[in-house]
Amino acid sequence: MSEEVLALVDGAVGRISLNRPRALHALTTRMVKTITNALLCWRGRTDIQAVLIDHSAEPDDDAKRSRGFCAGGDINLLRRSAIEDNGREGRRFFFDEYRLNHLLYMYESGFGGQPIVAFMDGVTMGGGVGISQPARFRVATENTRLAMPESGIGLFPDVGGGWYLSRLAGRLGQYLALTGARLDGAECMWAGLASHYLPAEQIEVAKARLVFGETPENVLGDLSVNPPEPALARYAGDIERLFASDQLDEIIATTAAEGGAFAASILDKLRAKSPTSCKVALRQLATSLKLPDFAANMAMEYRLAARVLVMPDFAEGVRAMIVDKDNAPLWSPSTSEAVSPATLDAIFNHLPQHEEWTPL
């Protein structure tokens, strides 16, 4: 247990509560290690019937409102590392975080553990997606806002994003990776990124019943409701057509020629993102579909993270979007055409053997 994350046995569940409300529960290295150690201690324990992942109460929380489940990773640590130590601490964070992502993915089956229930009540971005998508039970509410916004800060959709997004229907994953679009709870259900939809007022009821020893299947089956109509569904055909290519230049050209308000909004988003990040993301998703398992995906993503972290776009993207908040990043290079195949090849190349990522 640490101040930033509370990990304890609570009745019939192992409970992990993220506890950085001022940072929307963004993950730090210490939090990652605390969660990992708790999961390793709990696996196989017959008195723990499920693992519950949620966030602690925020100062202005009430029964119907939650600002954030987890807003991502420790971006400030990563930027400092990129500037001050050539990415050494940042790579260490990614290495440990990706081990946690893989542990969660394999926990119920590969590690002889218990089912995981993740309550995505509020902002669920980046690292928050990485600790919720491996769960068999992924609970969305009317507060859920799920996104992978990394292309806007010079990164790419990591923490398993290549695996999850590439396997969504209708090129939705490519749309999410390139635009950073936010999905609400109903849209998460429609996309397959949530398994259950609960009214926020029922979240504490569900947790209490899990603590008491009821199974996730019974609790969530009993309390789930039909979500509202997903607003994004009306554009499913447009998304599949506009993002049909794995080449960024073609997507931009197709979208520019499309016309209409939806295509125009997409084009604005694409032009605001790092061209290098967008090209990396498209190749990442295409490559992930060919990989044999989740571990291979995480090894690939670690290679990408180790290199993209110290490229100019990351420090500049964080400066523009988070530090100075001028929303005017100067990408290098600034156009899609200037990102060469050789640059992408270098980013995707294997690391020296002693630097490669390995699972626990």
Q: pLDDT for 293-312, tens place per residue?
A: 999 999 999 999 999 999 99
Is residue 62 over pLDDT 60? no
Distance CA 177, CA 175 (A): 6
138-147 as b/e: b if 16+ CB within 10 A: bbbbbbbbbb
Largest Cα–Cα distance in the chain? Answer: 59
Contact at 8 Å (CB) between 223 and 205?
yes
> DSSP letters of 19-35?
--GGGTT-B-HHHHHHH
Mean pLDDT value across the chain: 96
Partners of residue 55 on adjacent β-strands: 18
Say if pTM beats, i.e. exceeds, 0.85: yes
Q: Are strands 123-125 and 13-18 parallel, antiparallel or unpaired?
A: unpaired
What confidence tens digit (pLDDT) does each residue in 83-103 have? 999 999 999 999 999 999 999
Distance CA 319, CA 332 (A): 14
**pLDDT, position 67:** 82
Is residue 219 over pLDDT 60? yes
Contact at 8 Å (CB) between 319 and 329?
yes
Is residue 64 over pLDDT 90? no
Q: Is the peptide bond before 333 cis (omega within 30 degrees of 0)?
A: yes
The mean pLDDT of 170-185, rounded to a whole number, is 98
**pLDDT, position 63:** 42
Distance CA 161, CA 154 (A): 15
Q: Enumerate the active-site residues.
A: 73, 127, 150, 158
Give SS3 for 183: strand
Distance CA 340, CA 334 (A): 12
What confidence tens digit (pLDDT) does each residue in 267-299 have? 999 999 999 999 999 999 999 999 999 999 999
Tokens read off for 266: 């997409």
Partners of residue 119 on adjacent β-strands: 139
- Looking at the domain 5-355, which fold is it? 2-enoyl-CoA Hydratase; Chain A, domain 1 (3.90.226)
The mean pLDDT of 205-233, rounded to a whole number, is 98
What secondary structure letter does DSSP report for 181? P
Q: Where are the domains of the chain?
A: 5-355
